[in-house]
Amino acid sequence: MSTPRGGRVLRAAPVTALLLAALLALPALSYAAGQPKPLEVAQRKAINPGLGPAPEDLDRSTPAATWRSFLSLGAKGAFPAAAHCLDLSEVPTDRQFDAGLRTAERLYKVLKALGAREDTVRADTPEGPMVDGTPLNYVVAIRFNRRGMRGEIWLRRTVASGSGEMVSLFTRRTVSSVALWYRVLIRHEKIQSGPLDMGLGAVPPDVNRSTPRDTAKGYQEACRHGDYRRAAFYFDLNAIPEAQQAEAGPRLARRLRIVLERTTWVDPENLSNDPGGLPEPGLGDDDELLTTIELKKTKVKILLHRHFFPDGSWAWVFSRSTVAAIDPLYAQYGFGWLGDRLPAVFFNVVVAGVALWQWTGLAIFLLLAWFVS
C-alpha cells in the first residue's frame, strides 16, 4: 500500500513545483505588464521650421523644462513662442505658424481646466524617466477622464536630423487631439455620435479609417481592386435609407472613382496622418479637404469627415455632403450607363489618347457596319 501512495506523491511533486513556481512568478509578471515601454527618440527633419527660430531663452531641454516653459508663456499670452513647445511636424510648413498659435492657446486653456501646475511634470533629465536603466524618452504628463472624454497629454524627446537639436515637445498625437479636447472641456460641446452605414453590414477587418490619410489610401486601394463594396465603407451613407445602402454604396464608390480620375489627382500623402486630422481655415474641426471639383458654375468640396461612435471611437469617411454630390458630379464627368456596368479597365486604359471603351465602341461599330454591308 505504501508504494502506490508514494508513487502518487512522486508524480504530484513536479506539478506542485510548477504551481509554486507560477505563483512566485506572478508578482514579476504583473510588474512587467504594468511597466511603461520605452520609445525611440522621435526623428524629424527639422523642428517646426514654419515657426521661425525659437526664442533664445526658451528651455525645451527636458520634459519638465518644456512643461514649465509652455505654462509660463501661456500665462503671459505669448502663444507664438509657446507654439515652439509643440510637435507640428504633421502640419505643412506654410501653415505651422497659424496652426501652432491656435493650438498653443487651446492647449493652455485645456491644461488650466485640468488643474495643471508647473510641478506636474518632474522629469528634469533630457531622456525622461528610466525603466531598468533604459530611458523612456517620453512622459505622460496628465491622464484625464472629464465629461465623457478620456485623454493623455504626452511630451516626447525629439531630434532634428539636420541640425542634431534635441528637445522635448508635446507629441503629435497630443497636438492633433487638442481641438477635440477644447470643444468638450472648454466650450462644453456635446459631440454628436451614432452608428454608421448599418445597411452595409460588419466592417471588414482590412478597412482602416483611423486617419484622413488611411481613409484616402484605403478607398483608392479598394477601387484599384474593383472592390467597390469595401470602398463603400469609407463613405457616410447615413442619409440613405439603411435598406438601400448595400446597393447604393458600391455604385457611389465606383462613380466617385471615375469623377476623381477624370478631374483631379489626389495624393493621400498630402493628407493628415493624425487621428485628429488637421484643422483647416474655413472648415469644421472634424473635416479635412481632399480636393475641390467644379460643378457647372459652383465648386464642390470633396471632404473627409470624422464620424464619432457612441463608445468614443471614430472613423474618417467621405462626408454626407460629398456623398450627396457624387451623382451630380457623375452626370457631368461620368460615362453614364456604361460607367456603372463596364469593368474599370475600359475607362482606365488609354491608347493614343482614346480610352479603351471608346476603342471598343469603335470596333463594334465597324464590325456592325461591315456585317450590314
pLDDT tens per residue across all 373 residues of the chain: 444 444 444 444 555 554 445 444 544 444 444 568 889 999 999 999 999 999 999 999 999 999 999 999 999 999 999 999 999 998 889 989 999 999 999 999 999 999 999 999 998 999 889 888 899 999 999 999 998 888 999 999 999 998 999 999 999 999 999 999 999 999 999 988 999 999 999 999 999 999 999 999 999 999 999 899 999 999 999 999 999 999 999 999 999 999 998 898 889 998 988 888 887 778 888 999 999 999 988 999 999 999 999 988 899 999 999 999 999 999 999 876 555 555 655 555 555 544 554 556 556 656 666 666 6
d(CA 146, CA 192): 17
Compute how many other C-beta atoms are within 10 angstroms of the C-beta atom of residue 244: 11
Q: What is the DSSP letter of 158?
A: E
Q: What is the DSSP letter of 203?
A: P
- What is the DSSP secondary-structure string of 133-153? TEE--EEEEEEEEETTEEEEE
Q: What is the helix (H) or strand (E) element at residue 360, kind and residue range?
A: helix 356-372
Do residues 170 and 86 touch, judged by C-beta distance below 8 A? yes
Closest CA to 118 of 66, 65, 68, 60: 68
Q: Where are the alpha helices (DSSP H) in 264-355?
A: 320-333, 336-339, 345-348
Three-state secondary structure readout of 59-70: CCCCHHHHHHHH
The three-class DSSP label of residue 36 is: coil
d(CA 82, CA 66): 9
Place of cell 502663444: 79
d(CA 162, CA 185): 38
Compute how many other C-beta atoms are within 10 angstroms of the C-beta atom of residue 105: 18
- Kindly report the backbone phi and psi dihedral angles of residue 146, in degrees, each rounded to the nearest multiple of 5, phi listed first: -130, 135
Cite the beta strand spans of 194-286 per DSSP E. none
Closest CA to 173 of 211, 121, 128: 211
Strands 130-131 and 138-146: unpaired
Distance spanning both ends of the chain, measured CA to CA = 109
